[in-house]
């Protein structure tokens, strides 16, 4: 999920999470610091060493405080025993130098969790951080993907990638988008390439999140991809880099139409959008006749940014409602009256696809529900969960679902996505009555999330958008 920061007066800070955590790398770094040993301690519950009590207590308190925070803020009520048992399982799975048996701790209470934590720490005093992370890793493993572990260090060693957007299509992993000037473009990857293996690991049966994690890694490290194109398999060795790309790009198209690509919603998006729209107007020697807003492959971003950008195109009405477990956590975000420099009569088209998710879906739904824009493309990702990021220990945080997003028409941003007004199905545009689709099966039959990928030179979605702007 994407990380969206927002200051609130409610008990919990509501965020939407977009970025992919680098859990595998962070845990690998933690575990590889351990020195292997054949020592094993087993038997009945051990009494903790009193001289370590003052050292271990603050460390355990961090675990306890996070467990109780998850218990009180998760989207649905939880039996705290589920959390303590999961944490105990996570600690027992750690490969520590001195192996101890904690199977006698049932995990039915925080007291059991505390005693097991002290026992492990007393016997492995140099590896308390691994034990801490192990406890939370157990909870993450049990509740994933509604709870995730995040690495919050701004260390480029764990944020390098190759510059592709991967989508899962009929249990296959397909390259749906490639960043300009990225390693993926440099090494010749193309939209539509089927990804079969990463570093010789067969991807069959993998989750999309796992595939994305495998593509990320250390700066300047190589990743070996096996792809299939036109029925022919080949291997490509690509070097990972830190990816920096603009949130907004724009260009002027024929007949006075503008094109804006919003790749992500962050702190720079609103300002960059205003600058680009001003330059488009100047280049056109006057107001634009129409504007295409492309949010395909946009997984979201910061909630405040989503609201501010949507506000540029709306004069009134509800943008989104965030509804938490408690009524006191409900928030409504309204468009500002006369706050936009965008003409109210400017015709808008929003391009979406199966990789349009979370914050980008809120943006698309707001403009469509307020009858401000026509949506063209394929059904969106369907990520309606709102998350809270809880700091844990230095460099580690927990992201958990705490609320859902409600559209301005009163419907939940459902798990089966937003159906566009004009669906591109089998390379042909089909007009849809989006109000008639109430179930995932109805939506899939009318407009699958992705049907056929389009080349950059023959983009049916783009052609349909231009035709829509030319209509009177």
Residue with tokens 């509604």: 146
Contact 102, 91 (CB under 8 A): yes
For residue 168, give both structure tokens.
């899962």
Residue 471: how many other CB atoms lie within 10 Å: 8
Average pLDDT, the chain: 79
Ranges of beta strands (E only) in 337-417 are: 347-352, 374-377, 385-393, 396-406
Residue 39 has pLDDT above 90, yes or no: no
One-character DSSP codes across 10-25: SSS--B---SPP-HHH
Residue with tokens 């004009």: 422
Tens digits of per-residue pLDDT, 393-425?
Answer: 777 788 888 888 888 777 777 667 788 888 887
Tens digits of per-residue pLDDT, 263-320?
Answer: 999 999 999 999 999 999 999 999 999 999 999 888 888 889 999 999 999 988 899 9
For residue 143, give both structure tokens.
């509740």
Q: How far is CA 175 from CA 94, 161, 449, 457, in A?
A: 36, 14, 15, 16
Contact 122, 60 (CB under 8 A): no
Residue 338 has pLDDT above 50, yes or no: yes
For residue 253, what is the enclosing H or E element? Answer: strand 248-253
Q: How far is CA 173 from CA 228, 265, 361, 424, in A?
A: 11, 25, 22, 20
Residue 6 has pLDDT above 70, yes or no: no
**Alpha helices (runs of H) in 203-347, residue ranges in sequence order:** 208-215, 269-283, 303-311
Report CA Rg, the chain: 25
Contact 162, 240 (CB under 8 A): yes
Distance CA 352, CA 26 (A): 33
Contact 86, 73 (CB under 8 A): no
Tens digits of per-residue pLDDT, 96-129?
Answer: 998 888 988 888 899 999 999 999 998 998 899 8
Mean pLDDT of 172-201: 88
The percentage of residues in the chain with a pLDDT greater than 90, rounded to a whole number, is: 33
Contact 388, 322 (CB under 8 A): no
Contact 34, 96 (CB under 8 A): yes
Q: Which residue has the higher pLDDT, 177 or 121?
A: 121
Distance CA 190, CA 167 (A): 13
Is the pTM here over 0.85, yes or no?
A: no
Mean pLDDT of 342-356: 89
Residue 282: how many other CB atoms lie within 10 Å: 10
For residue 361, give both structure tokens.
């879906």
**Beta strands 385-393 and 396-406: pairing type?**
antiparallel
For residue 385, give both structure tokens.
């969960």
């Amino acid at each position: 999920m994407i990380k969206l920061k927002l200051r609130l007066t409610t008990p919990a800070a509501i965020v939407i999470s977009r970025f992919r955590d680098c859990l595998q790398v962070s845990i690998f770094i933690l575990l590889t610091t351990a020195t292997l040993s054949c020592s094993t301690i087993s038997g009945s519950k051990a009494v903790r060493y009193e001289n370590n009590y003052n050292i271990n207590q603050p460390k355990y308190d961090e675990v306890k405080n996070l467990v109780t925070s998850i218990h009180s803020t998760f989207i649905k009520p939880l039996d705290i025993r589920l959390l303590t048992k999961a944490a105990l399982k996570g600690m027992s799975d750690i490969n520590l130098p001195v192996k101890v048996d904690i199977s006698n701790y049932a995990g039915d209470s925080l007291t059991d969790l505390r005693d097991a934590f002290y026992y492990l720490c007393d016997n492995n005093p140099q590896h308390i951080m691994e034990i801490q992370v192990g406890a939370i890793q157990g909870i993450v493993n049990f509740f994933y993907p509604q709870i995730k572990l995040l690495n919050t260090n701004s260390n480029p060693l764990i944020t390098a990638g190759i510059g592709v957007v991967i989508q899962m299509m009929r249990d296959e992993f397909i390259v749906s988008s490639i960043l300009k000037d990225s390693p993926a473009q440099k090494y010749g990857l193309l939209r539509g390439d089927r990804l079969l293996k990463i570093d010789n690991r067969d991807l069959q049966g993998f989750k999309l999140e796992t595939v994305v994690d495998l593509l990320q890694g250390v700066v300047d490290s190589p990743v070996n991809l096996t792809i299939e194109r036109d029925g022919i398999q080949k291997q490509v060795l690509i070097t990972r880099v830190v990816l920096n790309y603009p949130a907004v790009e724009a260009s002027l198209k024929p007949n006075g139409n503008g094109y804006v690509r919003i790749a992500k919603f962050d702190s720079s998006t609103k300002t960059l959008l205003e600058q680009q729209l001003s330059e488009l107007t100047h280049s056109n020697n006057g107001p634009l006749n129409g504007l295409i807003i492309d949010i395909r492959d946009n997984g979201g971003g910061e909630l405040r940014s989503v609201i501010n950008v949507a506000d540029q195109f709306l004069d009134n009405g509800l943008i989104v409602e965030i509804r938490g477990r408690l009524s006191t956590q409900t928030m409504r975000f309204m468009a500002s009256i006369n706050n936009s420099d965008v003409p109210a009569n400017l015709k808008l088209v929003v391009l979406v696809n199966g990789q349009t998710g979370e914050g980008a879906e809120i943006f698309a739904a707001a403009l469509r529900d307020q009858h401000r824009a026509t949506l063209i493309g394929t059904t969106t990702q369907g990520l309606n969960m709102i998350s809270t990021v809880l700091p844990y220990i230095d460099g580690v945080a927990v992201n958990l679902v705490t609320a859902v997003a409600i559209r301005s028409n009163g419907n939940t941003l459902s798990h089966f996505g937003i159906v566009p007004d004009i669906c591109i199905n089998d390379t042909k545009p089909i007009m849809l009555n989006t109000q008639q689709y109430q179930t995932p099966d109805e939506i899939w039959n009318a407009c699958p999330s992705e049907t056929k990928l389009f080349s950059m030179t023959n983009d049916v979605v783009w052609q349909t958008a231009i035709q829509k702007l030319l209509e009177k």
